[in-house]
Structure 1
């Protein structure tokens, strides 16, 4: 299949009014879609912050990393363990870009808005390409299908993760490729190796697709082969280097921490939730995306997820599918072809007739429907619910508990206030492997990380845990602070 590049834009012979209308749409509509998505994801983060919702420790971890980068320090994150360099956990040097964010707004809430802007902004290149290829209305619908897709919503709901930087990079790379801009596609795609170690394999696949395109398309054949094979080698080299050299070198245990999470290849087909994810992905691509070679880009991510032994990997409700959203929409656009040429590509290396209007309409409808049919399960629905905007009645007590912690001290906290405590304290997780004796312990008796069994006497628990004498200095609203005497 060829990935049909965009031809020159329509000229005046097509009529000045339609041309002006299209140009206006492609300039105004994509930023508007991005703004809607960014506001939605950002407001979802505000709701979580106000309601003390902490689905995982990730926000605390990345807040600590941003604090380190903001003070020109290595990303040593005690929440992961004593002396834990987060670059030895996953390879994400691109997160140094969070330093300016920290300078402006030193808070975990800033990371939530940063992710919202990255996810929302990634819709601009894809929506613009969709309008160019399909026309204003169908292109807008495809842009919305992407910007509000279930994978992006799931990522926003579980708060900040480094994958947020990879989503716009892949969107820019794939749109450049579909426009025939091979060099831009390779440069944007090559930067993915700085986001996470496994994305080196995605870059490898992208390079192979570009090289394949050079074989099936006369135009720019030498350039495509050069950039494609070079990009494939770049991705493979960084995967090997980051996974087997850099990560073990910077890891406190001298190993790659996630090798043990991989199971047998014979388990890849079960349970059924894995097939649900596959069907949801194909539906986002309107099913016709099966015609596009871009689909091979999902294979590395699905391979490690479906051979993994961690149940979170298999479902759609975490951040693991976010990086696949640009791929599926790009595959949809590739398969639907270009209205200006009436052609689309196929796997044979010859240009095929563009699908008819009925097929195009059905494909776009399916792409929209896969997200819409999830209904109330989607996180963004909460932004529209007035009841979800009520501030947690425990928030004042949480703020008083934080105020009870002496500034700059080592604090062991559970999940609820982990990220909030980072800006003013040296924070570690109460359930972590740390050997340091904290000055204070912060416990939320309702935190899920206690599995329903918080310590009945926090001071006694801290004494048993750390071998020092503690006394309770604050006990309010289920938040207990115990500090060393």
Structure 2
């Protein structure tokens, strides 16, 4: 008995009954522009007001700087001679090199991520408007591009997953249009974004192969491509380029029993189900979430489990595509409920959402620390090896050789920048930054001298040539 043919991947009703072609052209582009500008402005205010939730922006700024100069991505912030391609497998980030060459600033990376998130809305919103009608489709497009997964990712600044979001959006919308080969080609590029995404590609290939016999070859090929790159990148390339000769994140994994607790994990699952409108659970595309959720929920790092940070960004286009697949053959009322559920998740979070900050007048005020911070950066000689905490890390990268002052580096920095308010000090910064630097880097007392002290920022330096 032959296997059943896959369900048709065309709108349930003629598209001409659901709003004009002009709306389907303009609205997705308008959403993309609006999201890009909103996310870019949010990040610009963060950058200028010295909001740094992690060191990722500094790390990726060093990577982009190296690529711009046609060098391997050696990132001293992570440690001496650390090749970032031995930390995670993300060769697609070579695309940041030309961007950095034109705009050598961490802001370039933040706006690039904002643009990538915005672009991802175009295929999602366009397909949504064709399948759901102009109003419902436009609402779903907005719910997607301003979803909690994308907002929180932009809020914690740049990460390589920014490139995965539009790739997934392009791939899954083409699959739902029946353009399987194009879907496979877009999905195939995901293996160059991050090593674990090879498993997502594997699952997508399996879904394509199992949905209909006429596409089993493409599906099987895509599955093999994803699995092959996952094995090659995780067990060969990363250990080969890693200074310790290993995959660094194995120790972050717990047991299978850890998957089910604590309760934060179930809250995340519930929120993802709602973003998919509930009805998305009937689509096999929802299975694409499993690889990401599997490594996150077996992980021992608390940030992996929650709805915040950047870890949910790659799940947002999956949820939207699953919703659009799941609503086929349903009533308009059912579709309305699904779209409302998707939008309600982010709306219910209200003031907890990062973009809400743009409505607060204080967000538009320049921090009193901005001028002292600029002075501290200026006080460091160009080209100097400088150790710093996270606050000014990204700002120092363009003109300096930066390392983390709490890191494992063996090089003795020429200058040390200390921020009394940096969270890495746990509220107890050194009373004398110069003395702390002498002790930290085993220098004779008095080797480091204070050259700048203002607004909680200290710059202490060794004499040139010492």
TM-score normalised by length of structure 2:
0.96
CA distance in structure 1 between the aligned counterparts of 2:251 and 2:192, rounded to whole angstroms: 23
Where do 1:23-422 residues align within 5 Å?
Answer: 23-215=21-213, 221=214, 224-337=215-328, 354-422=329-397
Match of 1:218 in 2: none
Match of 1:6 in 2: 10
Match of 1:456 in 2: 431
Residue pair 1:69, 1:98 contacting (<8 A) in 2 also: yes
Which SS does the other structure have where 2:421 is aligned? coil
Post-superposition shift, 1:359?
A: 1.3
Q: After superposition, give the CA deviation of every residue in 1:192-232 in whole Å (9 maximum; x if it has no partner).
A: 000000000000001001111224xxxxx1xx111100000
CA distance in structure 2 between the aligned counterparts of 1:477 and 1:131, rounded to whole angstroms: 51
CA distance in structure 2 between the aligned counterparts of 1:4 and 1:284, rounded to whole angstroms: 24
Q: After superposition, give the CA deviation of every residue in 1:76-132 in whole Å (9 maximum; x if it has no partner).
A: 000000000000000000000001110111000111100000011100000000011
- The 3 A distance-change label for structure 1 pair 3 and 187 is farther
Q: Which moved more, 1:166-175 or 1:21-30?
A: 21-30
Post-superposition shift, 1:22?
A: 2.2
CA distance in structure 2 between the aligned counterparts of 1:92 and 1:178, rounded to whole angstroms: 27
Residue pair 1:157, 1:379 contacting (<8 A) in 2 also: yes
Residue pair 2:11, 2:131 contacting (<8 A) in 1 also: no
Post-superposition shift, 1:424?
A: 0.2
Which SS does the other structure have where 2:195 is aligned? coil
Residue pair 1:445, 1:479 contacting (<8 A) in 2 also: yes
CA distance in structure 2 between the aligned counterparts of 1:209 and 1:34, rounded to whole angstroms: 29
1:480 to 2:455 alignment? no
Which SS does the other structure have where 1:427 is aligned? strand
Task: Flag structure 2 segments of 5+ consecutive residues without an equivalent.
Answer: none
Residue pair 1:4, 1:334 contacting (<8 A) in 2 also: no
Length, aligned pairs only: 456
CA distance in structure 1 between the aligned counterparts of 2:421 and 2:209, rounded to whole angstroms: 54
Q: Give the RMSD, CA atoms, in angstroms.
A: 1.4
Post-superposition shift, 1:47?
A: 1.2
Residue pair 1:22, 1:135 contacting (<8 A) in 2 also: no
- The 3 A distance-change label for structure 1 pair 9 and 94 is farther
Task: Flag structure 1 segments of 5+ consecutive residues without an equivalent.
Answer: 216-220, 338-353
Q: After superposition, give the CA deviation of every residue in 1:359-417 in whole Å (9 maximum; x if it has no partner).
A: 11111111110110001000010112222111110110000011110100100010100
Match of 1:428 in 2: 403
Residue pair 1:52, 1:416 contacting (<8 A) in 2 also: yes
1:443 to 2:418 alignment? yes
Post-superposition shift, 1:301?
A: 0.3
CA distance in structure 1 between the aligned counterparts of 2:269 and 2:355, rounded to whole angstroms: 22
CA distance in structure 2 between the aligned counterparts of 1:267 and 1:444, rounded to whole angstroms: 37
Residue pair 1:3, 1:178 contacting (<8 A) in 2 also: no
CA distance in structure 1 between the aligned counterparts of 2:359 and 2:222, rounded to whole angstroms: 43
Which SS does the other structure have where 2:453 is aligned? strand
CA distance in structure 2 between the aligned counterparts of 1:147 and 1:74, rounded to whole angstroms: 34
Residue pair 2:13, 2:131 contacting (<8 A) in 1 also: no
Q: After superposition, give the CA deviation of every residue in 1:411-458 in whole Å (9 maximum; x if it has no partner).
A: 001010000000000000001000000000000010011111111111
Which SS does the other structure have where 1:441 is aligned? strand
TM-score normalised by length of structure 1:
0.92
Post-superposition shift, 1:358?
A: 1.8
Residue pair 1:471, 1:483 contacting (<8 A) in 2 also: yes
Post-superposition shift, 1:6?
A: 2.2
Residue pair 2:128, 2:140 contacting (<8 A) in 1 also: yes
Residue pair 1:29, 1:140 contacting (<8 A) in 2 also: yes
Residue pair 2:161, 2:193 contacting (<8 A) in 1 also: yes
CA distance in structure 2 between the aligned counterparts of 1:144 and 1:386, rounded to whole angstroms: 24
Residue pair 1:118, 1:167 contacting (<8 A) in 2 also: yes
1:465 to 2:440 alignment? yes
Post-superposition shift, 1:282?
A: 0.3
Q: After superposition, give the CA deviation of every residue in 1:284-319 in whole Å (9 maximum; x if it has no partner).
A: 011011110001100000000000000000011100
